[in-house]
Amino acid sequence: MKVWTFKSLIYWERLILLSIVPTYLILFKVAASTMYAADEITPVWPPTGLAVAAYLVYKRRAILPLLGGVLLGHFLVSRASPLQLVFSIAVNVGVPWLIVPFKKHILPKEVMFQNSIDSLKKLLLFGAVICLLSALIGVTYLTVEDPSRVPDFFPALFLWFLGNWFGILICSPAFITLFLSFRRHLKLGLDLSIPINKEMFLWVLCNILSFVVLHYYSQRVGLHAVVMGFIPLALLTWSAMRFQPSFTSFAMMVTALIFWSILGRGAAGILANSSYMEYSIILLLMGTVFFLPLLIALRTEQNLQLRNKLQIQAHRDALTGLLNRRGFEEAIMQQFTTVRKKPSSGMIFLNVDRLKVINDACGHLAGDRLLQQISILLQNEFNEETIIGRFGGDTFTAYIVETTSDDIKSQAEHIRQRIQDIVFSWEGQQFNVSASFGVLYIDSPRSLSFLLAKGDMACHMSKDQGGNIVTYLESEDQSLVKRRKSWSWIAQIEKSIKEQNFVLFAQPICSLQGEEEPLHYEVLLRILEDTGSLLEPGDFLNVAERRHLMTEIDTWVVKRTISLLEKYPYLVDKKCIFTINLSGQSINSTSFQDKLISILSNCTLSGSCICFEITESAAIKNLKMARRFIYKMKTFNCLFALDDFGKGFSSFNYIKNLPVDYIKIDGAFVNDVTCSALDRAMVRAVTDISGVFNLKTIAEHIENEETRNEIKSFGVDFGQGTFLGSPVPLIEILKRD
């Protein structure tokens, strides 16, 4: 790539402007060869097309070159009197200048085919106005000079108009594209050579051969121009379908000029003294012949641009411009298939930490800006051979070709440090930025799905350890084995939802004060594996939470519990209460709330037998949403219990804001209540404050008699734990009672 200085750019621009003079002279000569001998009117006037193109691109800098072309044309090709010369300058230099004010409409971005059909339409429309004005001036001058031409005023006006307009049609698109292409190549320092492929070379040979055949048969056989017109039409249609519009427009101009040179010499049924009418008919016919291929070329290019745009949208991330997951996977698969000798390579996965904090505090526009900033950093850090992608959300991935284990580790650590150095500012707020990394070194063939899953696991392992670290996984890493087991549960969970392989258990919640209280049970969930064993919630709920499957699970639990209670209503009739756990995802989901309302509306049970249990941490994430949810469910007389109470620093404050019925004291305080004065004080405080608000208390994790007695002495209402009763299948409890 060449680097052009400002002075060299000015030099080349001036050289191109100077080349307009001989080009204008050549077009002048071609036009003069087809001149209508009787009135000195040419059926085609290509110089108008050159003038319009020059003015659109170079504006007033094109005046002197065009003036030089007109003067040389009248000096070397067609002599003119001083008065005729003045009229010629006015018509050929002055009138085309009127196109300049319309440049922003014709070339909005200085790209001829940016909006191809619209640009051509406006070029021909505004050009028609110029051609009409030029024809009025020219024919008026000829009529004033020779009054005997008055009867032919309007036919001559029409022929003059068509000649200029046809000149714009065949020449302006080609010259505009040529001028803008030169300018772009010079500014970017690109090579000025034109790539010619085999098909293009074959097209040129066929075109030359067609001209030889046309010239020979028009002279010997006398083929009419109408018949001859189908040969260039076929060739130009070929060009329009296969080549760029820039090539087609240039080919159309050259073909038209040669074609009209043949006609202008009296060949193919066209004589030099033919009538205005015959010239006009042939001109209209040939205008159609040469307009259709250009229209096809522009439409083809427009479709190609649309297809490319859709292709980019399908493979590129709209926010960062990086490859999306689909594009990334296809790029790597192509790398796997095209590279014969597979060099050692590696993959880096990174997940931006705490992006949600920025989104919540400043809005998603701020989060998007940070993601764009990180994408630019990654593109600057990696070389051109590295495949970089964004998998949506806050995850980026890079595939590095030809690397070593130590190199990829150090590169990941370097990028981690670069991201950590970012201090993101937005509207006066500043945020520290970090990312969790997962790194893979690939020294043996592996499937792409395996690599992506492995890298994703490594990235999540970094995040689970607090983030801002790099986790490097060997193929037999024990942590990876555990992680795979965790991720295999996703398929098991989805299968259980689909095939209803969940099993409901229930654990009794017993009264500690000996009063006549309704029976209580907490509904618990298990997964029945294919082996027949039961999977505990602690094994799979974290994975389900991470994969946003909890609303589906909670919906199933509610439906199944109510269905069983309707089928076995004995305990319901005894005012027994069944507690169902709801996740934070569910209470913050409006769609889940709608489903729950529909379920409760259509069941035959009273809502007073259902108690929904929500954790304190889930409630405080969106306190307003939690309050709204509780109030909605209480319209069905449902009860609520606040679980894990006491974990947060502001636990007591939430009692005032959440209209719950039960407080479940966190098991961490109950476990050591017999030996920890602090835990005893905490349990006593929760019990006393709950009494002030007329709330019942439930102590979890009562595992022995000593703990039960201690908890009972504090006035706690209910207890739950293996000492009081272990979980058993819900169906057994309902059938037994």
State how far Cα 568 lies from the chain centre: 54
pLDDT digits (tens, 9 = 90+) for 657-695: 889 999 999 888 898 898 888 889 989 999 998 998 899
Q: How far is CA 143 from CA 108, 152, 164, 622, in A?
A: 40, 9, 19, 87
Nearest to 95 by CA among 141, 62, 131, 58: 131
Nearest to 120 by CA among 302, 279, 371, 382: 302
Confidence at 580, pLDDT banded by 50, 70, 90: very high
pLDDT digits (tens, 9 = 90+) for 482-519: 555 555 666 677 777 777 778 999 999 999 987 655 57
> Which has the minimum average pLDDT: 35-49, 168-182, 600-614?
35-49
Check if the beta carbon of residue 481 is closer than 8 Å to that of residue 453.
no
Percent of the chain with pLDDT over 70: 82
Check if the beta carbon of residue 345 is closer than 8 Å to that of residue 404.
no
Check if the beta carbon of residue 482 is closer than 8 Å to that of residue 460.
no
Pairwise CA distance, residues 228 & 218, whole Å: 8
Pairwise CA distance, residues 27 & 92, whole Å: 12
pLDDT number for residue 340: 52
Same fold, 325-475 and 488-736: no
Pairwise CA distance, residues 14 & 42, whole Å: 31
pLDDT number for residue 181: 76
Pairwise CA distance, residues 404 & 401, whole Å: 10
Residue 124 one-letter amino acid: L
The arrangement of strands across the sheet holding 345-352 comes to 387-390, 395-400, 345-352, 435-442, 470-472
pLDDT number for residue 661: 93
> Which has the minimum average pLDDT: 182-191, 459-468, 654-663?
182-191
CATH code that applies to domain 325-475: 3.30.70.270
Average pLDDT, the chain: 81
CB neighbours of residue 722 within 10 Å: 12
Check if the beta carbon of residue 616 is closer than 8 Å to that of residue 643.
yes
Pairwise CA distance, residues 605 & 577, whole Å: 12
Nearest to 526 by CA among 551, 547, 488, 556: 556
Pairwise CA distance, residues 505 & 512, whole Å: 22
User: In the chain, what are the domain boundaries?
Assistant: 6-310, 325-475, 488-736
Confidence at 610, pLDDT banded by 50, 70, 90: very high
pLDDT digits (tens, 9 = 90+) for 294-340: 777 777 767 766 776 777 667 888 888 898 888 888 888 887 776 55
pLDDT number for residue 373: 92
Confidence at 612, pLDDT banded by 50, 70, 90: very high
Alpha-carbon Rg for the chain, nearest whole angstrom, is 42
pLDDT number for residue 6: 46
The strand pairing partners of 424, in sequence order, are 431
Pairwise CA distance, residues 585 & 365, whole Å: 24
pLDDT number for residue 457: 81
pLDDT digits (tens, 9 = 90+) for 231-263: 777 787 788 788 777 777 788 888 878 777 766
User: Cα dihedral sign for 558, 664, 637, 584?
Assistant: negative
pLDDT digits (tens, 9 = 90+) for 128-174: 888 889 888 888 888 887 777 766 788 888 888 888 888 888 888 88
Mean pLDDT, residues 554-570: 91
pLDDT number for residue 647: 65
Residues contacting 65, CB < 8 A, separation 6+: 17, 18, 20, 21, 24, 54
Pairwise CA distance, residues 558 & 581, whole Å: 9
**Strongest mean pLDDT among 120-124, 274-278, 323-327, 485-489:** 323-327
Which DSSP string do the residues of 22-50 spell out, in sequence order?
HHHHHHHHHHHHT-BTTTTB-S--HHHHH
Exposure b/e, 290-317, CB count within 10 A at least 16 = b: bbebbebbbebbbeeeeeeeeeeeebbb
The number of CA neighbours under 13 Å toward the Cβ of 286 is 31
Judged by phi (left if over 0) then psi (alpha if -120 to 50, else beta), residue 702 lies in beta
The strand pairing partners of 388, in sequence order, are 398
Q: Where are the alpha helices (DSSP H) in 265-363?
A: 276-315, 325-338, 355-362
Confidence at 219, pLDDT banded by 50, 70, 90: low
Check if the beta carbon of residue 468 is closer than 8 Å to that of residue 435.
yes
pLDDT digits (tens, 9 = 90+) for 349-374: 999 988 888 888 888 899 999 999 99
pLDDT number for residue 703: 92
Homologous superfamily, domain 488-736: EAL domain (3.20.20.450)
Pairwise CA distance, residues 134 & 99, whole Å: 12
Pairwise CA distance, residues 644 & 551, whole Å: 20
Pairwise CA distance, residues 53 & 556, whole Å: 71
Exposure b/e, 539-563, CB count within 10 A at least 16 = b: ebbebbeeeebbbbbbbbbbebbbe
Q: Would you call 457 helix, strand, or coil by DSSP?
A: helix
Pairwise CA distance, residues 248 & 238, whole Å: 9
Nearest to 671 by CA among 644, 646, 697, 701: 701
pLDDT digits (tens, 9 = 90+) for 54-91: 998 888 889 999 999 999 988 888 888 888 888 889 88
Cα separation of the two ends of the chain: 87
Kindly report the length of the chain. 737
pLDDT number for residue 714: 92
The whole-model pTM stands at: 0.47
